[in-house]
Amino acid sequence: MKVDFFIVGAPKAGTTSLYHYLIEHPQVEMSSQKEPDYFSDKAIHGQGMYYGKNRVNTLDKYESLFVQKESVLYGEGSVSYLFYDNVAEDIKEYNPNAKIIIMLRNPIERAFSHYLMDYRLGLISDSFENIIAKKSKHKNAHLFYQQYIEVSKYTKQIQRYLNFFEKENILFIDYEDFKTNVSKTVDQVYNFLNISTEFTADINTKYNTFTMPKNKGIRFIYSFVFLRKILTFLFPIYLVKSIRVLLFKADKKPELLKETRIQLKIIFNDDIKKLEEVLCKDYSKWIK
């Protein structure tokens, strides 16, 4: 078997929702682990990335994430694949006919959303402002900056895929379009993958909605990555989800400070202009 298509990023740009909508399609089998990170494993492990996820570092482990049904397309959604240098080339070598899906979100919103996710998980206590100003003394401060700022600079990342894959094998999805018209975007993906558009996914279910721990104690305990790994190892996924519901509550998403937004517009301005040239598309809405 070969994996046929890859949702490579960007993080916090709707990839989880798209992954779940594709799971429902009878002509598709998605990896049982949403983000195997197989092709980025060495880079992630070498950096000492702080998420501590289950490693899929051999081809046997990777292929075991698929039941290997007949007459289906195999897909996965590792959002780290867009950022790391080696991945586009490695995927091309693995499957020259692979199709690539890239979801792009306003880099300012994406960066802040990524920070809020890490804060919610108890992985960071520094302010977003301290991280982007490089004032944090945290041992992972450089990685936080990478995850929020460098990951949000899309041009070089996208150029790598354009260097290795034909344009017709890459689908770019605007996060705002996805949110505004989920059904239309999902059908666009079906067409790109050459699967039936007659099937209708349950797009009413929302994924990765904003939640916060119910108290500081839960946030502190949840910050220990090894405890979360034990939880997912010992209990089936449906039970893990039920436990998370008990520990977290829906909450109002914090707003980005006006001064910080202005600063981020300056940080991302040059890259956005380069992206417009590469994709021949107007992204000025991101910095207006």
- Report pLDDT for 120: 87
- Model confidence at 175, in pLDDT bands (50, 70, 90)? very high
Residue 270: predicted pLDDT: 98
At 26-56, the pLDDT tens digits run: 999 999 999 999 999 999 999 999 887 889 9
Q: Is 90 exceeded by the pLDDT of residue 251?
A: no
User: Cα separation of 24 and 75, whole Å?
Assistant: 12
The closest alpha carbon to 148, from 105, 103, 114, belongs to 114
Percent of the chain with pLDDT over 70: 87
Lookup: tokens for 254:
């914090």
Cα–Cα dist 237/221, whole Å: 20
Q: Retrieve residue 107's tokens.
A: 């880099």
Residue 27, classified by CB atoms within 10 Å of its CB into exposed (0-12), middle (13-18) or buried (19+), is: middle
Span 92-145, pLDDT tens digits: 999 999 999 999 999 999 999 999 999 988 899 999 999 999 999 999 999 999
